[in-house]
A and B are shown apart, each in its own frame.
Chain A
């Protein structure tokens, strides 16, 4: 990973002792979650909604530890599309985290973002496309990008950590300055195959 070893120490929750920075137990924890978190903080993201994915776990923890960001755990991903629209109506920027399988749950709800031209920033961890062990992930992995494009969400696909951080920055501007509906797809190759 290009930014390996540059993660600043952190507190997993306010008031608790510092935790080991590597949550996966590997000494090779990637630096991009911290870089994305800092970028989104600079962009004044104030709400974060998620259905968890292993690839998002570090970013979720960083936001949940942040008293200036409201975090919402969702029962299904389309809820986050509605929350994002409401947040924007109320003047706040938000980010929505999900796995590629969740994109399928969102499709009709995305008509809300599209037709109201409300800024939307989704970060999607991909499954079913690289060294995938679970065949059930493959169909929605294949459909993720075309389905998003079909409903009017523009996609940026990142295959390296450096590209990823740059693309999130670009997507922030396109979403919140240019009123676009954006999804950054984080490739499974970048995330690494799930360990069983």
Chain B
């Protein structure tokens, strides 16, 4: 990459600053660690598997909670496995769904093999071609600009690709029990445990 890229932890922490009543889903691997490192929260739903699911869980959630803003934080590898989901999200047009791809151009969890985005594929362009409002983020000023828009619904879905350095930072591990995370999340929304 020609321009200096961001530190992923710093980028995600800046994005989540004063998060208010944001509902957040994170994709497996480093994005889940980044979200946890930024501060555990009952309205966080961390994925530890189901690669390709993050943005689509965000879609189902956004459709069920149309008055709440939903943020998905995922990685380039995770989103690449759900490319078709960008078309599904674009067709569904949820104005309360924002997907942020933390793009280090690599499969960081499995040995830092270079991913498709590291080989020239630009997820923001794919999203734009689907009709999603999309853009690149390369510095903290641009993160701050996006953060301010996270509280507001838009005409349709948004996707931002945050370019970060390909480095493994110390892990910050959230709970892995998906039933616990589900019930905690639903409890936050005032929904009952079955």
Contact = CB atoms under 8 A, between A and B. Distances in A.
B63 A92 contact: yes
Contacts of B56: 79, 82-83, 86
Interface string A77-104: 0110111111111111010000000000
Given A79-B82, A116-B182, A179-B194, A87 B53 contact: no
Contacts of A177: 194
Contact of A111 (B50, B58, B82, B182): B50
B28 to A, nearest CB: 10
A112 B53 contact: yes
Contacts of A47: 60, 63-64
B57 interface: yes
Contacts of B51: 108
A115 B49 contact: yes
Q: Which of B47, B52, B64, B85 has the most CB of A within 10 A?
A: B64
A57 interface: no
B91 interface: yes
A193 interface: no
B178 interface: yes
Contact of A85 (B23, B57, B91): B57
B61 A86 contact: yes
A74 B88 contact: yes
Q: Which of B57, B60, B182, B191 has the most CB of A within 10 A?
A: B60
- Tell me if B's interface is mostly helix, strand, loop or mixed: helix
A117 B179 CA distance: 6
B39 interface: no
Nearest to A83: B60
Interface in A39-94: 46-47, 70, 72-76, 78-79, 81-92, 94
A118 interface: yes
A82 B55 CA distance: 9
B88 A109 contact: no
A109 B64 CA distance: 20
Contacts of A112: 47, 49-50, 53, 57, 178
B109 to A, nearest CB: 16
Given A82-B50, A89-B61, A116-B182, 5 more contacts: A70-B92, A84-B60, A85-B60, A87-B60, A91-B191
8 closest A-B pairs by CB: A86-B60, A90-B64, A75-B84, A82-B56, A116-B178, A86-B57, A82-B53, A83-B60
Interface of A: 46-47, 70, 72-76, 78-79, 81-92, 94, 108-109, 111-112, 115-119, 176-179
